Chain A
Amino acid sequence: MDSGERYRSGSDRPLTGSLEECRREFNELFGETKDLRLEELQIGQKQAMLCYLLTITDAQLLTQRVLQPIGQLPSDQSVAGTDELEMLCARMLGGSAHIIIQTNQDAVQKMLEGYSVIFIEGVGAAVAVFTEGGGQRGIQEPTTQTIVKGPKDGFVEDLRTNLSLLRKRIRNHKLRIETFTIGTDTGTNVCLVYMKSIANEGIVDEARKRLSDIHTNAIFETGNIEEFIADKTLTPFPTVYSTERPDAVSAHLVSGKAAILVDGTPFAITLPTVFNDFMVAPEDYYQSFLMGSFLRFIRYLSFMFALMLPSLYVSVITYHHELIPTPLLISVIAQREGVPFPAVVEAFLMEVTFEILREAGVRMPRAVGGTISIVGGLVIGQAAVEAGIISNTMVIVVALTAISSFVAPYYIFSISSRLLRFGLIVLGGVFGLYGVFLGLMVMVGHLCSLRSFGVPYLAPIAPFILKDQKDIFFRLPVWASKLRPQMLKPAGAVKQQESESPSPPPMYPSEGKSKRKGDPS
């Protein structure tokens, strides 16, 4: 099913059946591009022309699917009209993906998508056979979201491979894939994937609508889509979840979310997304729920650290010394003795330095990456302290903040804490804890006002949904959660009816117990 803004070229006249005309038109459209192949063939009695783009066609597929079947045709095969062409195709190309096309425009479109198109003299239709090939990366372990235990495959740049990864995980007829072609210049294939009768229809409709409403020239990455479909862009918090892990996408799909995959990028996005999604790593579900819950706690804690630690330090040191126990205060003061800057400047300096280091570390060619840690850690950190420019405590604070910001299982999410941190440092330096807490309130207010495809961003904390709490701050054992997340208002709410703790039944089962387990008798 095709819909949405599509790349349009060539005339939308129906095909006339004149090979000459086709050839002329193609040469005109594509110019003298080197990879355009227009090859003469003989099908039965008729002249035919095979058109494809060499660069995105797999020669082996072409031979298997097109050339061999044609070669096996009896030489008296007649192809007179469209009906006959369809019958012929059904016999000749049965089983391989092919489409009968009526217009020149479709033919061009199909060629761009990697099809080979066969025109037959005198027939007002053509047949396109899927023969896409071309360079692609093999499936590898995801680089941005690594885990210790669990599936190691990651999405690649090829859309079909990615979809196959999903299909293989969810072997269910309810998995629906809708494609859109977006980008007037790039004509990129974009897929909307969801589980029919699990995902909320309204959300899927909304996603469909927003995808169809995108009018742009180029889509290279899900990030481009993201900005078009997100509810609000003036926010440091991501409102869609993008991942390169097929297991994460599959888990989201079966919990009632929709996913969007874009050809040419290994990142898929899922929606709607709530704050808590960014505190969840797929691995939480692959190891003991106790560990999973503990890690959740650690992640929330480190988010807080990454966000607030420097500003709290600055405001306490500058305004609220009484909050620090005496021995600690004495040692902090002793260290700060001789530091030429006020705490807020010190914090700013170190944070900016750290951000520069981090950016350099990310962008640097891998070969020189090690230099960064030496220069950054040793030279700047130690030397600055030795020189008395920065106090030791500040280095500890900044280091803890930095490490905390890396804990987020989802890299992009730490952007929010990185950005807001600076604002909070300023507030803390100017107004003390009062400023920091007001800043936090505004932040929480902002979070409360965010929505992702109609789902409040802080759900299920605010608005509070009791039934969803089993997988937010804690992860309860899998058997304990019978329902899909209610905040997504899924069409099918129940995910496992007969789930019970696997612990052995009591030695002398009492009547009450057996009744509680829902025995109908």
Chain B
Amino acid sequence: MTTPLLERISIWQLFVLVFLFQVGSAIVVGAGAADAKQDLWIAELMGCSIGLVLVLIYVYILRLKPGSSLYDILSVTFGRWLATLFAVLYILYFFYIAGRVLRDFTELLIIDVLPETPLEIVTLLFILTVIYMVYMGMEVLGRMSETFVPYFITFVLLITLFLIAGQDIKLENLLPVLGDGWDPVMKVVFPELITFPYGETVVLMVIMAHTTHPGYMPLTALLATILSGAVLSYHSGLMVAVLGGDMVARSTFPLLSVVREISIANFIERLDALVVFIMMVGIFVKVSLFFYGGLKGLEFLTRIPYRHFVLPCGLMVGFLSIIIAGNFAEHIEEGVEIVPVFLHVPFQIIIPVLMLAVLLIQRWRQRRVKRHGFRRTLQKWK
């Protein structure tokens, strides 16, 4: 119990985790709608295809050093001191984003479902559940997401079904395609849609190395990313088709507004509260993974099993998510303007790319030394 135990998750679990992680909060928040409007689905597709490159970089780094996680690779590439610094930064980053994602959800909950409940209570309950699950470990989290993913997918499909049955989908709302050219689309693609959610997959570098079949890991991660890109793009298209681009742009939580449209036979209607709770699964996975990523960093720095940190750090993340912003507008503004540029880009793009570069140089050198050494031995031989 005292030694840090290595937990392995199955390939299917990894797939589910990556999928829920990426779809989790992105499907609720509707990032980028304000500018892209009816072309949001194109923007999502672009974001996904560029995000795919990022994910490719992450898995490639992991493949270069099989079996080691983000923190191990940091220390291999940057040396002890720099690695420690980066690790500390990553830990803070992960905890902060965990808090942000949590706040996204608690705000949604209070706005739409529980207006009377204080933010603190909602947050505390959620974070306690996260603490319990993370304490149980990665395997348990993996299995839990496996259990819930069918419900998640069923509900996501049901939304479409109900919308079709209620004749709410007006495909002409998607027109005109690219009416204002590529500019508004590209504006949201970088950095907003690339970093959120695809770039955030960087935290999965902590767990992706430990799977039962490491050989399948890269393919799994990429397929899951493609699937979530498809789901996100499809849903932004759906939102626009139901509400129209302007409404989507104005809506705080477009998917919820869409679900509020559902009304079949005056009986199947008002489903938004239910949808909130189904979406909770995705948020839960996302918060837990970020939290776990940070905890693993602490474990790496201190060499103490992460379970010792779960409770205090968990409460800290909860607290952070409350004080992060004074009101909802501040929270969203930070999320759209500050976080992507000043946090996401360095941690999701710059450092990993640096890591990859260092690793490639190291490998090239090793090979040269090998070849060189071989030639030397040849010479000696002569």
A interface residues with partner B (beta carbon < 8 Å): 319-320, 322-323, 325-326, 431-435, 437-438, 441-442, 444-445, 447-449, 456, 458, 461-464
Give 1 or 0 for each of B273-287: 1 = CB within 8 Å of chain A CB: 110010011001000
Pick from A325, A435, A438, A444: contact of B267, CB below 8 A: A325
Asked if A463 and B109 make an inter-chain contact with CB atoms under 8 angstroms apart, the answer reads no
Asked if B146 and A442 make an inter-chain contact with CB atoms under 8 angstroms apart, the answer reads no
Tell me the complex Cα distance, A437–B273, Å: 12
7 tightest A-B CB contacts, nearest first? A462-B143, A448-B143, A462-B146, A437-B277, A448-B140, A462-B147, A449-B140
Distance (whole angstroms) from the CB of B356 to the closest CB of chain A: 32
Pick from B109, B114, B137, B144: contact of A462, CB below 8 A: B144
Asked if B146 and A445 make an inter-chain contact with CB atoms under 8 angstroms apart, the answer reads no
- Most chain B beta-carbon neighbours within 10 Å: one of A322, A435, A449: A449
Tell me the complex Cα distance, A458–B150, Å: 15
Pick from B125, B266, B284: contact of A431, CB below 8 A: B125
Q: Which residues of B contact A464 (CB under 8 A)?
A: 10, 12-13, 146
Instruction: Say if the beta carbon of B126 comes within 8 Å of chain A.
Output: yes
Tell me the complex Cα distance, A464–B117, Å: 37
Q: Which of B50-58, B70-78, B128-136, B176-184 is found at the contact surface with chain A?
A: B128-136
Distance (whole angstroms) from the CB of B105 to the closest CB of chain A: 10
The chain A residue sitting closest to B148, CB to CB, is: A444
**A445/B132 contact (C-beta < 8 A), A434-B109, A434-B113, A462-B144 known:** yes
The chain B residue sitting closest to A328, CB to CB, is: B267
Asked if B267 and A320 make an inter-chain contact with CB atoms under 8 angstroms apart, the answer reads no
**A325/B13 contact (C-beta < 8 A), A433-B273, A435-B125 known:** no
Q: Which residues of A contact B114 (CB under 8 A)?
A: 319, 431-432, 434
Distance (whole angstroms) from the CB of A453 to the closest CB of chain B: 17
Tally of A-B residue pairs with Cβ under 8 A?
A: 90
The chain B residue sitting closest to A325, CB to CB, is: B267
Instruction: Say if the beta carbon of B270 comes within 8 Å of chain A.
Output: yes
**A463/B146 contact (C-beta < 8 A), A434-B277, A437-B277, A442-B129 known:** yes
Tell me the complex Cα distance, A448–B271, Å: 29
Instruction: Say if the beta carbon of B269 comes within 8 Å of chain A.
Output: yes
Tell me the complex Cα distance, A494–B290, Å: 42
Asked if A448 and B144 make an inter-chain contact with CB atoms under 8 angstroms apart, the answer reads yes
Instruction: Say if the beta carbon of B122 comes within 8 Å of chain A.
Output: yes
The chain A residue sitting closest to B137, CB to CB, is: A449
Asked if B113 and A432 make an inter-chain contact with CB atoms under 8 angstroms apart, the answer reads yes
B interface residues with partner A (beta carbon < 8 Å): 10, 12-13, 109, 113-114, 117, 121-122, 125-126, 129, 132-133, 136-137, 139-144, 146-148, 266-267, 269-271, 273-274, 277, 280-281, 284
Asked if A325 and B132 make an inter-chain contact with CB atoms under 8 angstroms apart, the answer reads no
Tell me the complex Cα distance, A425–B64, Å: 51
Asked if B270 and A322 make an inter-chain contact with CB atoms under 8 angstroms apart, the answer reads yes
**A445/B266 contact (C-beta < 8 A), A463-B10, A463-B13 known:** no
Q: Which residues of A contact B274 (CB under 8 A)?
A: 323, 433
Query: DSSP class of B's interface residues: helix, strand, loop or mixed?
Result: helix
Distance (whole angstroms) from the CB of B122 to the closest CB of chain A: 7
The chain B residue sitting closest to A319, CB to CB, is: B114
Distance (whole angstroms) from the CB of B342 to the closest CB of chain A: 33
Q: Which residues of B contact A463 (CB under 8 A)?
A: 10, 12-13, 142-143, 146
Q: Which residues of B contact A462 (CB under 8 A)?
A: 13, 142-144, 146-147
Pick from A319, A323, A437, A444: contact of B144, CB below 8 A: A444
Query: DSSP class of A's interface residues: helix, strand, loop or mixed?
Result: helix
Asked if B117 and A438 make an inter-chain contact with CB atoms under 8 angstroms apart, the answer reads no
Pick from B125, B136, B144, B269: contact of A434, CB below 8 A: B125
Distance (whole angstroms) from the CB of B311 to the closest CB of chain A: 15
Q: List 7 A-B contacts (CB under 8 A).
A: A320-B113, A320-B273, A325-B267, A434-B114, A435-B125, A442-B129, A461-B147
Tell me the complex Cα distance, A445–B148, Å: 11
Q: Which residues of B contact A456 (CB under 8 A)?
A: 143
Distance (whole angstroms) from the CB of B29 to the closest CB of chain A: 19
Asked if A445 and B122 make an inter-chain contact with CB atoms under 8 angstroms apart, the answer reads no
Asked if A441 and B125 make an inter-chain contact with CB atoms under 8 angstroms apart, the answer reads no
Q: Which residues of A contact B139 (CB under 8 A)?
A: 448
Tell me the complex Cα distance, A312–B69, Å: 42
Q: Which residues of A contact B117 (CB under 8 A)?
A: 431-432, 434
Q: Which residues of B contact A432 (CB under 8 A)?
A: 113-114, 117
Distance (whole angstroms) from the CB of A117 to the closest CB of chain B: 50
Q: Which residues of B contact A444 (CB under 8 A)?
A: 144, 147-148
Tell me the complex Cα distance, A326–B13, Å: 41
Distance (whole angstroms) from the CB of A432 to the closest CB of chain B: 6
Tell me the complex Cα distance, A434–B114, Å: 8
Asked if A458 and B147 make an inter-chain contact with CB atoms under 8 angstroms apart, the answer reads yes
Q: Which residues of B contact A323 (CB under 8 A)?
A: 270-271, 273-274
Distance (whole angstroms) from the CB of B379 to the closest CB of chain A: 55
Q: Which residues of B contact A447 (CB under 8 A)?
A: 147
Distance (whole angstroms) from the CB of A468 to the closest CB of chain B: 13
Tell me the complex Cα distance, A449–B141, Å: 9
Asked if A434 and B146 make an inter-chain contact with CB atoms under 8 angstroms apart, the answer reads no
Q: Which residues of A contact B133 (CB under 8 A)?
A: 441-442, 445
Distance (whole angstroms) from the CB of B139 to the closest CB of chain A: 8
Asked if B144 and A445 make an inter-chain contact with CB atoms under 8 angstroms apart, the answer reads yes
Tell me the complex Cα distance, A444–B133, Å: 10
The chain B residue sitting closest to A459, CB to CB, is: B143
The chain A residue sitting closest to B133, CB to CB, is: A445
Asked if A438 and B140 make an inter-chain contact with CB atoms under 8 angstroms apart, the answer reads no
Tell me the complex Cα distance, A458–B273, Å: 28
Q: Which residues of A contact B146 (CB under 8 A)?
A: 461-464
Distance (whole angstroms) from the CB of A324 to the closest CB of chain B: 8
Distance (whole angstroms) from the CB of B210 to the closest CB of chain A: 15
Asked if B277 and A325 make an inter-chain contact with CB atoms under 8 angstroms apart, the answer reads no
Tell me the complex Cα distance, A325–B262, Å: 13
Distance (whole angstroms) from the CB of B286 to the closest CB of chain A: 14
Q: Which residues of A contact B136 (CB under 8 A)?
A: 445, 448-449
Q: Which residues of A contact B142 (CB under 8 A)?
A: 462-463
Distance (whole angstroms) from the CB of A23 to the closest CB of chain B: 56
- Most chain B beta-carbon neighbours within 10 Å: one of A435, A442, A463: A463
Tell me the complex Cα distance, A434–B271, Å: 14
Tell me the complex Cα distance, A448–B140, Å: 5
Q: Which residues of A contact B126 (CB under 8 A)?
A: 438
Pick from B13, B113, B141: contact of A433, CB below 8 A: B113
Tell me the complex Cα distance, A319–B110, Å: 12
Tell me the complex Cα distance, A445–B128, Å: 13
Distance (whole angstroms) from the CB of B63 to the closest CB of chain A: 24
Distance (whole angstroms) from the CB of B128 to the closest CB of chain A: 8
The chain B residue sitting closest to A316, CB to CB, is: B273
Asked if B132 and A434 make an inter-chain contact with CB atoms under 8 angstroms apart, the answer reads no
Besides A319-B114, A447-B147, 5 more A-B contacts (Cβ < 8 Å) are A438-B129, A445-B129, A449-B137, A461-B147, A463-B12
Q: Which residues of B contact A461 (CB under 8 A)?
A: 146-147
Asked if B113 and A442 make an inter-chain contact with CB atoms under 8 angstroms apart, the answer reads no
The chain B residue sitting closest to A324, CB to CB, is: B270
**A325/B148 contact (C-beta < 8 A), A431-B117, A463-B143 known:** no
Tell me the complex Cα distance, A405–B301, Å: 50
Asked if B143 and A325 make an inter-chain contact with CB atoms under 8 angstroms apart, the answer reads no
Tell me the complex Cα distance, A462–B150, Å: 11
Distance (whole angstroms) from the CB of B340 to the closest CB of chain A: 29
The chain B residue sitting closest to A321, CB to CB, is: B270
Distance (whole angstroms) from the CB of A454 to the closest CB of chain B: 13
Distance (whole angstroms) from the CB of B127 to the closest CB of chain A: 11
Distance (whole angstroms) from the CB of A297 to the closest CB of chain B: 14
- Most chain B beta-carbon neighbours within 10 Å: one of A432, A442, A462: A462
Asked if B273 and A441 make an inter-chain contact with CB atoms under 8 angstroms apart, the answer reads no
Q: Which residues of B contact A319 (CB under 8 A)?
A: 113-114
The chain A residue sitting closest to B147, CB to CB, is: A462
Distance (whole angstroms) from the CB of A437 to the closest CB of chain B: 5
